[in-house]
A and B are shown apart, each in its own frame.
Chain A
């Protein structure tokens, strides 16, 4: 059985966003850009999905990046190098549809930059001209800028407060590029739902193919339950087996937002209990 040991733990944004390199040779061998894994930290833990941010088949490792947002990610954050994750299952989902098409703009927001990074790398390896556009509230919350520079032909940065790159949103940079450059063949966006919805809105008038990676709630991640169902072109699709990537111009983002809120109350309760328990032990 794979032992899923944490080989390396790196704080990308201390206390908030962390990168883990895991020993998972079977998953690494098969992982392609766009794939994800399902994790379970301990016996009472829930199953939750995280995108594979990078994979090294030779070394037998995969990389995951998470934002500490609730109980499960806090439990993950409490693990150290050398610890193991109880259950790690993957690679799941359809890989990104990558072909040599010309210029591709890859847009990433927040923790989504990590997932976008793997997809952008795939596009670069396929011989596409990759323009990476990344955004965050401020400079200290940006991820993977250096890594993206290694293979991107351009890296453009936007911050809400202007502390790095352009002041404003990634959509403003995207809008400008689409107006100036008619050669853009495809846009990929990964990040918070409002960002992906805004990207879809920007590209729609240009008729440029736009792909988004959806982050719906999942349980099994293998098509058994339909918790992750999303509406695409008015059909029900399961993000875990039909996606997670879909044509951004056909996704019902309102419904996705609604369904992501299914368990807000329980999520808060669970996290609060964890934090209280954690504090009392210290």
Chain B
């Protein structure tokens, strides 16, 4: 059987047509049907020692859930996934599976790996309307909440939601404090609707509420309330998952011209504030005709594809290295190219140029070439002498990275920071230098992925449960 299944290609996922989708904000990937999912799951070799699980930062038992899918038992598949992953509908969509679970798939060397992400997504989507407690306790009732315990999560992005889900499943009451008016962190302000529909984030949050998690929006921890005060109020443990939200700027001339945005601002206006529906909603967003996006990660892809959907005529991604070095997910890069995004590789920004009204009209870049490998093993881009050129643009979006947000850190000087000014936390437990205060996700590692933040949350949650005497 194995020899035969190996040769079958992976079942392709239905997609919105590239020409059609660049005109709307609806989800691009449409998801498997039951039949497609069962066919794809049937390709799984059901390895004795399944390496896919080890490739997953939250250790989803991929082999088991895929077997359930192949045999049509979606509820059991869902239980298996939910046992370690509190946000499967999200992970199935935004994880870089090609670098994680699917990279370990035994089918990879001789063919295409199992589409684990797509299957996870299919299971989560199919199981939506069901009771969240069911997956945790096998019944309609969630476990009784322990009234002697309470834990605070600061921030409501993927790491905090994971902590909340894990602890709530053990009956520990959790309060999540979020600074913005909507819960989800980067899932609601950063990742666009066409990649992750907001309704999915809301459903996942609704599940957590039904498990007893309390959400407090418009609470800026560090301003409205401090970490120390939370502990004084009786929270036995605090998890800090505030992300790395402070956008970096280049410090090159013309960066304050009208038309130059951080990707965080551009995406927040469009995603969180629904600026693409202006003037139906009140938040305006600049719609550029010739848009330039700086950077090569997922944020840059999201910004570029968003600009297309806001009717840009031309969108160019400017990146210092070559296409091969781009840190973005391969699938996102491919989608962007299909939709018409243009790549300008080996080009580094030198200056933004404006007209007499202070409006951006072009970006001067310098041609680069690849030199010797640097510490990370990647070949370092080296400027080509006197090779400058201008790219006409009326909207530039900087997706060049973020740093640690200072709001909470300034108000909590007791937290020890590492040399990159992120929070220092024990890699095994997530505990910071303040006892019973834990941290995880981008505020510890710097900007990384959703699932790595979830993995850190899971680790911290396990340790918190152990310290509170709820788990071994």
Residue of B nearest to A89 (CB): B218
> In the complex the two chains form, what is the Cα distance from A91 to B407 in whole Å?
12
> Does A280 touch B at the CB level, under 8 Å?
no
> Does A177 touch B at the CB level, under 8 Å?
no
CB pair B179 A46 closer than 8 Å:
no
Known: A1-B216, A87-B217, A220-B268. 18 other contacts (CB 8 A): A1-B218, A26-B224, A30-B223, A44-B280, A44-B282, A88-B218, A89-B180, A90-B223, A219-B283, A223-B405, A223-B407, A224-B245, A224-B247, A226-B262, A226-B264, A227-B262, A258-B358, A261-B258
> Does B200 touch A at the CB level, under 8 Å?
no
- Among the stretches B130-138, B248-256, B311-319, B382-390, the one at the interface with A is B248-256
Interface residues of B in 200-219 (CB under 8 A from A): 216-219
> Does A197 touch B at the CB level, under 8 Å?
no
A-B contact pairs, 19 of them (CB 8 A): A2-B218, A26-B219, A26-B225, A27-B224, A30-B223, A44-B281, A71-B282, A87-B217, A89-B179, A90-B223, A220-B180, A222-B223, A222-B405, A222-B407, A223-B246, A224-B247, A227-B265, A258-B256, A269-B279
> In the complex the two chains form, what is the Cα distance from A86 to B180 in whole Å?
12
- How would you classify the secondary structure of chain B's contact residues: helix, strand, loop or mixed? loop
> In the complex the two chains form, what is the Cα distance from A269 to B283 in whole Å?
12
Most-contacted residue by chain B among A26, A90, A92, A224 (CB, 10 A):
A224
Interface residues of B in 262-277 (CB under 8 A from A): 262, 264-265, 268-269, 273-274
- When distances are taken between beta carbons in the complex, the residues of chain B under 8 Å from A236 are 249, 251, 255-256
> In the complex the two chains form, what is the Cα distance from A47 to B268 in whole Å?
11
Number of A residues, CB within 8 Å of B = 42
Nearest chain A CB to B131's CB is how many angstroms away?
25
> In the complex the two chains form, what is the Cα distance from A71 to B220 in whole Å?
26
CB pair A224 B268 closer than 8 Å:
yes
- When distances are taken between beta carbons in the complex, the residues of chain B under 8 Å from A86 are 181
> Does A185 touch B at the CB level, under 8 Å?
no
CB pair A222 B220 closer than 8 Å:
yes
Known interface pairs A87-B218, A226-B249; A267-B284 also in contact (CB < 8 Å): yes
CB pair B282 A46 closer than 8 Å:
yes
> Does A72 touch B at the CB level, under 8 Å?
yes
> In the complex the two chains form, what is the Cα distance from A26 to B274 in whole Å?
28
Binding site for B on A (CB under 8 A): 1-2, 26-27, 30, 40, 44-47, 71-72, 86-92, 219-220, 222-227, 229, 231, 236, 241, 255, 258-259, 261-263, 266-267, 269-270, 273
Q: Which 3 A-B pairs have the closest CB atoms?
A: A266-B284, A225-B265, A46-B282
> Does B406 touch A at the CB level, under 8 Å?
yes
A259 contacts which of B224, B258, B269 (Cβ < 8 Å)?
B258
> In the complex the two chains form, what is the Cα distance from A45 to B283 in whole Å?
7
- When distances are taken between beta carbons in the complex, the residues of chain B under 8 Å from A46 are 273, 281-283
> In the complex the two chains form, what is the Cα distance from A217 to B286 in whole Å?
14
> In the complex the two chains form, what is the Cα distance from A136 to B37 in whole Å?
70
CB pair B406 A30 closer than 8 Å:
no
> Does B420 touch A at the CB level, under 8 Å?
no
Nearest chain B CB to A259's CB is how many angstroms away?
6
- When distances are taken between beta carbons in the complex, the residues of chain A under 8 Å from B220 are 89-90, 92, 222
Residue of B nearest to A71 (CB): B282
> Does B278 touch A at the CB level, under 8 Å?
yes
B262 contacts which of A45, A225, A267, A270 (Cβ < 8 Å)?
A225
> In the complex the two chains form, what is the Cα distance from A53 to B9 in whole Å?
66
Known interface pairs A87-B218, A226-B265; A270-B273 also in contact (CB < 8 Å): no
> In the complex the two chains form, what is the Cα distance from A241 to B220 in whole Å?
12
> In the complex the two chains form, what is the Cα distance from A269 to B282 in whole Å?
10
> In the complex the two chains form, what is the Cα distance from A261 to B359 in whole Å?
11
Known interface pairs A46-B283, A259-B258, A270-B278; A1-B264 also in contact (CB < 8 Å): no
CB pair B265 A87 closer than 8 Å:
no
- When distances are taken between beta carbons in the complex, the residues of chain B under 8 Å from A71 are 282
B406 contacts which of A241, A259, A262 (Cβ < 8 Å)?
A241
A224 contacts which of B251, B258, B264, B284 (Cβ < 8 Å)?
B264
